[in-house]
Structure 1
Amino acid sequence: MGGSTPGPHAGAAPQLWRIGRASLGFLVDTFSMSRGGAGDIVDPLLLTIIVDSNLAPFNQDPELTARYATLDDPPPDELRRPVSVNAIAASLRMPYETVRRRVTRLIELGAVQATPKGVVVPAGTLHNPFYDIVATARYERMKRLYFEIKALGGLAGLDVRPPEAPRHERAPVRLANRQLSEYSLRVIDGFMRRLGDPVTGLILLEMAHANAEHLSASETAYEGPMSDDKRRPIRALTLAKRVGLPPETVRRHVAKLEQHGFCRKVEGGLLAALEQLGQGGSGEHGLMNNLTNLHRMLVRLAALGVLAFWDDEAATACAAG
């Protein structure tokens, strides 16, 4: 899909770390948006995996995917396939009882429905004012990432306007959010393979982002991982507040990260070991894997007409002055 491209590795080395830093900020921002400024990072993760499982057959049909693209068009409940709690726990490598307890709470809150074959996030959960605000914010953040990567020269060879792509008259917010969920889950899968569970990986992402969020774009516009002296440590208690988890839970995950060399204690708090971030055995390998996942998402967005919509929108705004 999306035309012939040389793939994300071709000519990618010069901007590898810059794109990696851009995607790090993007991931942390979108996970934060999914929390809605409250709650912890686990419930949004569970909802994401449930929705993705519910719509797995639907997402394989480009025509259906394009048909249900806007906020006003959520996929109907009859297209959703239930998923068992056991399957959710297995896919996230989380304890069954932890997942069962949290899913039960989501059912009691009305966000999830139980059926004889498993659980479903119904269309009503994904079609209300709160969801619309969150989905739109995530959509706008995706658009910003696209133009950031484009400015960095990271789209070389990508056909952003394939002839078979559908055309959209209204913002394809819902469609783009589904592609974001798939990308996020691939990143989380990488963390699980390296760290054993997704929550530890999300805490590491938040830590790495917090270490560098005070820096300007010009201060981060160079190749390679940032040196420790440029970054700002974060204390475990502050990190716990940022991810919405109890301090003791975060300390336990941090101890795991420290044990495996993914973070280190310094004066003033914690620093993520940037050279270890990613799915591979080295920082560069990990960033290459992340670039592959980003490229896959962008190719999919191009094939579904989203990138052309964003380019046309930007051109119209520019022409209007």
Structure 2
Amino acid sequence: MNSADADGPRIYRPGVRMAASYFLDALDRMVRFSGQDLGPCLVFMGTVWANVSWAAEGDDDAPLPAEVDRRPVSIYRLADNLSMPYETVRRHVARLDAAGFVRRDPLGVVAPDAVFTTAQAADVMTGSWDATVRLRRGLEALGVALPTPAATVPPQALPWVGRLSAAFVLGGVDFITQAIESDPVSCLIYLAVNRENLASLLADAERVQPYIGADAIVPDELRQPTSVYRIARVLGLPYETARRHVVKLVETGWLERLPDGGLITPGRSLAHPAMQEAAMQAWPLVRRFLGRTATLGLGGAGDV
């Protein structure tokens, strides 16, 4: 029995919904930090994690090392890791290189130390820490039992949580990307449309009660439609890029365009076996991420 089965849909489905919102917020912080579009931000996050992932291997309960030398990653490996075309990743790397967020050497692509020493980078890492605390608190409110945080916070905990957060986001996005048989940008558009659809409902304490911790999927008629323009703004995408991805998602049935032009994630897409499987696969990832960050002291008494 996997952890999703053990917790049951009344916990893991709303938990995965919280995680999806976490993914979107993490990408928003990265877009604002880098001044780049969503695509280059995904490549940057993939580079950051690939550079240090070797140091995070092993026992999930073991403390992570304080600081590591970054190992270059090839564009081919990045493209494979991110489920993105090689040429697309190559273009994004060129943009990131020109902006100073990565550097190219004969062995591959590296995120240089200078990127992580600015006040803006510190704000991103603090934002990752705070967002992870909120995710943990939200899951605890659902009744999810999580590992007790370490009593002390090691000096390099903040940057390591930022790096683990990048891996968590990329892993979760990958599950949904596979479910919709598309690319990470389309996946994030799908998640953003769903969040926009549910935002007003989730903000209404009375109306949302039947759907908190419930197995039921919110009916289509309760979803607040959104627009391509709004999604482009939310994700930091050029409008035309967002429009092309939306057209593809509508054609494949993952999104639905209403007669007035509004967009929703229809209940049938959320109930699709591939999407149900993606949610079940993502749930252990959520637990693993929060377990690993707990070893760094995240979620302790000092986090309010």
* TM bucket, shorter chain: 0.7 to 0.9
Aligned position for 2:208: 220
Structure 2: gaps spanning 5 or more residues: none
**1:50-65 alignment to 2 at 5 Å?**
50-60=47-57
Query: Structure 1 residues 125, 235: CA separation in 2 closer, same or farther (over 3 Å shift)?
Result: same
What is the count of residue pairs matched by the alignment?
294
Secondary structure of residue in 1 paired with 2:273: coil
* Larger CA deviation: 247-256 vs 144-153: 247-256
1:261 maps onto 2:253 in alignment: yes
Secondary structure of residue in 2 paired with 1:196: coil
Identity over aligned residues, as a percent?
A: 27
Aligned position for 2:263: 270
Q: TM-score scaled by structure 2?
A: 0.86
Structure 1: gaps spanning 5 or more residues: 69-74
* Larger CA deviation: 207-216 vs 242-251: 242-251
Q: How far did residue 66 of structure 1 move? A: 3.6
1:191–1:197 CA contact under 8 A, matched in 2: no
Secondary structure of residue in 2 paired with 1:159: coil
Distance 1:287 1:35 in 2: 25
**1:1-321 alignment to 2 at 5 Å?**
7-36=3-32, 38-60=35-57, 66-68=64-66, 75=67, 79-155=69-145, 158-161=146-149, 167-168=152-153, 172-194=157-179, 195-215=181-201, 216=203, 218=205, 219-221=207-209, 222=211, 223=214, 224-266=216-258, 267-277=260-270, 281-302=273-294, 304-307=295-298, 310-314=299-303
Q: How far did residue 269 of structure 1 move? A: 0.9
Query: Structure 1 residues 7, 217: CA separation in 2 closer, same or farther (over 3 Å shift)?
Result: farther
Moved over 4 A (4+): 61-65
Q: How far did residue 40 of structure 1 move? A: 1.8
Q: How far did residue 198 of structure 1 move? A: 0.9
1:84–1:119 CA contact under 8 A, matched in 2: yes
* Larger CA deviation: 225-234 vs 13-22: 13-22
Query: Structure 1 residues 159, 103: CA separation in 2 closer, same or farther (over 3 Å shift)?
Result: closer
Q: TM-score scaled by structure 1?
A: 0.82
Distance 2:51 2:255 in 1: 35
Deviations 1:270-295 (A, max 9, x none): 001355349x7255433222222211
Distance 2:277 2:193 in 1: 20
Secondary structure of residue in 2 paired with 1:313: coil
Q: How far did residue 16 of structure 1 move? A: 3.3
Distance 2:158 2:228 in 1: 35
2:46–2:167 CA contact under 8 A, matched in 1: no
2:74–2:107 CA contact under 8 A, matched in 1: yes
